[in-house]
Structure 1
Amino acid sequence: MNRAGRTLLMGCLLLTTPLLGHAGDNSLLIPADGSCVLDTRPEDLEQALAQCRRLAEGGDSQAQYELGEYFYDASRHPQDLPQAVHWYEQASLQGHAEAQLRLGTLFWHGEGVPASAMQAYIVLKMAAVNGSEEAMDSADQVAEQMDREQLERANRVLGEIFRNYLQELQASDTRSPFAPLP
């Protein structure tokens, strides 16, 4: 997709942003906010890690993402890719764009997970919907490596995800998700 197409797509997505704010409990496209600080002094790290785990296990997507980053980054401790992937997946399921970008990149390069261009493309497109322009560019690069059949299958999966999402929106409210907002 060229830059003009991406701009048009992002513009269309921005028009739907008010709709996403009324998604209720469906957080597929809406990241939750939270706090988790793991960039701390070494003597405080154990306590900060325990606090972050509590938040993450309680469903805080930012804490889940921060744990993913912690386990992915090998600068202060040994890298733990299975833990990183686990926490990125948890945050991604809640629509955390940065976690989706990281997870899509892991699938693209086969880092900690089996390499899968199709899975990478789908997760990166979801990250793009959630506001990551970097993910949009990465998804375009992945698409260039996919054959036509793979790309069509991935787009069908994305279409199904969005159809299900719209059906959930419609079921959660008596209005159409495309009706004017109050």
Structure 2
Amino acid sequence: MTRTGRILSLGCLLLSPLLADAGGNSLLIPATARCALNTVPEELPAALRACQQAASEGDLQAAFELGEFYYDGRRAPRDLAKALHWFEQASLQGHATAQHRLGVMFFRGEGVRANNVQAYVVLKMAAVNGDEDALDTADRVAEQMRRDELEIATQVLGQIFRDYLLELQAAEGREPLRP
């Protein structure tokens, strides 16, 4: 199946109430200021503190950048536990690239026990949120999954979708759909 076909078949397969709320539409992710971690070594401790403060106050881009900083290990020793923490924070707010990174970490077992179901679900969320490469990565994960794992992941995705539809209907004051 082509990428376009997969995107269309995903359609509304996965929409999460965990996405950031922007103007009443949880699918719109607001743009936020970036933290400046590309600085001279003497200024890095202060830049890290400022970025951590912004991320702790809900700046999803700052959380993502902290995750990248600790994951890549170029400017400081690689710290997968911190990378995982910050990617999770950005992911919970709907940051697609952070979700992709987090899915890869779950798949590879980087900083966390490998978990194909979690990897697959998070990668599908990343795809819905706009990370174009996440579908291909999810396909690679699916190739490694047992049938029962894929069934569990599909059930989780279905529940996320149902919850999201109910949330939309409640926000619009409509009666929930009946199965």
Same fold at TM > 0.5: yes
Give the TM-score taking structure 2 as reference length: 0.84
Of 143-152 and 55-64, the range deviating more from structure 2:
143-152
1:67-101 Cα offsets, whole Å, 9 max, x none, are 11111121121111111101100110111000000
CA distance in 1, matches of 2:20, 2:67: 26
What is the Cα deviation at residue 22 of structure 1?
A: 8.0
The answer as to whether partners of 2:102 and 2:122 remain within 8 angstroms in 1 is: yes
Aligned to 2:110: 111
The answer as to whether partners of 1:71 and 1:79 remain within 8 angstroms in 2 is: yes
Q: Which runs of no fewer than 5 residues in structure 2 stay unpaired?
A: none
Aligned to 2:9: 9
Q: Which runs of no fewer than 5 residues in structure 1 stay unpaired?
A: 178-182
Aligned to 1:96: 95
Aligned to 1:84: 83
What is the Cα deviation at residue 167 of structure 1?
A: 1.4
What is the Cα deviation at residue 154 of structure 1?
A: 0.2
The answer as to whether partners of 2:103 and 2:120 remain within 8 angstroms in 1 is: yes
Aligned to 2:74: 75
RMSD: 2.5
CA distance in 2, matches of 1:21, 1:109: 27
3-state secondary structure, aligned to 2:93: coil
Identify if the C-alpha distance between structure 1 residues 22 and 57 changes in structure 2 by more than 3 Å, giving closer, same or farther: closer
Give the TM-score taking structure 1 as reference length: 0.83
Aligned to 1:165: 164
What is the Cα deviation at residue 25 of structure 1?
A: 6.0
What is the Cα deviation at residue 33 of structure 1?
A: 2.2
Deviating runs (4+, > 6 A) in structure 1? 20-23
Q: Where do residues 117-132 of structure 1 align in structure 2 (5 Å cutoff)?
A: 117-132=116-131
CA distance in 2, matches of 1:50, 1:151: 41
Aligned to 2:32: 34
Q: Is the helix fraction higher in 1 or 2?
A: 1
The answer as to whether partners of 1:121 and 1:142 remain within 8 angstroms in 2 is: yes
1:34-87 Cα offsets, whole Å, 9 max, x none, are 221211121221221111111100011111101111111211211111111011
- What letter matches 1:45 in structure 2? L
Aligned to 1:180: none
- What letter matches 1:115 in structure 2? A
The answer as to whether partners of 1:64 and 1:90 remain within 8 angstroms in 2 is: yes
What is the Cα deviation at residue 5 of structure 1?
A: 2.6
CA distance in 1, matches of 2:4, 2:57: 40
Aligned length: 170
